[in-house]
Every structure is written in C-alpha cells, then in structure tokens.
Amino acid sequence: MQLSEGAKRSELHPDYAAIGLMHEEMHERENPTAQREVPFKRQVTDNAVLSGRADFVFDDHIDECKATFSDTTFRNAKSGKPEMSHLTQLVCYMMEFGKSRGRLIYGYFVKGKDGQLKRKDTAIIEVQRSDERLIYVNGASTGYTDMDLINSIMQIAHWKPLDVPAPRPAAQGYNSACRYCPLKELCDRIDDQELFISDVKAEAIELIEAKVGPTPKPKVEK
C-alpha cells in the first residue's frame, strides 16, 4: 500500500522483491480459492491518493503477506508485535472490504551459500475489529480503534507536503515507534528549536545509518 502525491516510488531491492513474490506464491498454493491482488484505491485528501492491493481476500478474512530478512522484525512478529505500518495497511483493507478479521503472514528468509533464497520460518498474527471498532492483535486490545490507525495516514497526507515536522504519536502508545526510534533525541530538539525538516534531514540520515544501519541484507546460511 502507498500514499501517492505524484512522487516517483523508489525501487524495491531485487532480493526483497524476490522473497515477497516467493512468500506470496507459497501462500497461494496453500490457499488456491482466495481472491488474489484485489485492488484498493481511495482519495484521502485533495492531492493524496491511498492505493494498494490486498494480497488474499477470503469470504471471512484477509491475509496480508510480509517477507523479511530482519531477525528483529521476525522476532517481533513471533511474539505478536507487528510493525505499525503493516497493521495499519491490513486494517485499511479490512475496512475497505468489510472484514472483521485479518492475518499478517510473516515469512523469514535466508540466502544459502549457493545464492538461493529460501523461507526458513513463518509467523501468523491474528487481527480483529470488534463491534466498537477496537483493534485486537492475537486477542489482546491495542487500545486503538480502526479510525485511530486511518487518522495516522491522514496526518501523513496533511503534513507530507509541508516543511515542518508532523506531530509524533504518543510515546506510550501500542508498539510506539518513538520508544525505540534512533531519532527520538533529534525530534525533541526539533520541537524545542522549531526547526524545519530540511534543516535536520542530513543529520537524521546520519543518525539512522549510525544506530540502525542499512536495510537488512539476506542472511547467508553456513
């Protein structure tokens, strides 16, 4: 799913594109009756369009596949802690297609010495929308409603064209990125000094590379 304002989308790394396709093809063989790649498109502001394709649409739920090389992402998935962007994406599809239940299917991939990519493990996270529109993950309430998650997208659509920082999510919110983000101290300084994003962009990139490192690369099995 992407929020488009006419900007060109960056190309996905070939290895990530490959494992994403492999993961979905494996899931399709296990679920041949599901509808595949069902399109979704909605105008969220005058100049922003939210669009995407739901991976697997069933009569009573939606499955969204996520493939990763990252140990951290997969460990979190195993413990029932999806990335917020993945949860928001799935909830958007659940709302659009009128489903109260969805699943995030995480696939953990490695690369063998022969260069072949293979799925080493999977994790399934159950997501539920209650009658009160509350979002539950593996049976536990996140404290968010579906509209809370949708509003986070609306915030991005509003602030993205501007050269000022968007409001940050509550630091104690469900699986809040602010609690672990390497830019937390920088964001605090932006708030204090009322800096523009363009003033701190280079420093933000340096902090991310220093504390997080580049995009995880395929792990080569010994």
Judged by average pLDDT, the poorest of 2-6, 71-75, 95-99 is 2-6
pLDDT of 16 above 70 = yes
**183 occurs within a structural domain:** no
Residue 105 domain flag: yes
Q: How confident is the model at residue 69 (pLDDT cuts 50, 70, 90)?
A: very high
209 CB-near residues (< 8 Å, 6+ apart): none
144 falls within a domain: yes
**Would 170 be classed as within a structural domain?**
no
Taking the CA atoms of residue 139, residue 72, residue 159 and residue 51 in that order, the dihedral angle to the nearest 10 degrees is -70
Q: What are the pLDDT digits (tens) for 141-200?
A: 988 888 888 877 777 777 666 666 566 555 555 656 566 566 666 666 665 655 565 666
Beta bridge partners of 35: 57
Q: What is the largest CA-CA distance in the chain?
A: 56
Domain count, the chain: 1
CA dist., res. 88 & res. 73, Å (int): 16
* The dihedral sign for the CA sequence 170, 164, 145, 84: negative
Give pLDDT, residue 222: 62
Q: Is residue 68 part of a domain?
A: yes
Indicate whether 171 belongs to any domain: no
Distance CA 77, CA 98 (A): 25
Q: Domain containing 52: what range? A: 2-163
CA 58 to chain centre: 21
CATH label of the domain that carries residue 101: 3.90.320
Asked if residue 9 is part of any domain, the answer here is yes
Answer yes or no: is 174 within a domain.
no
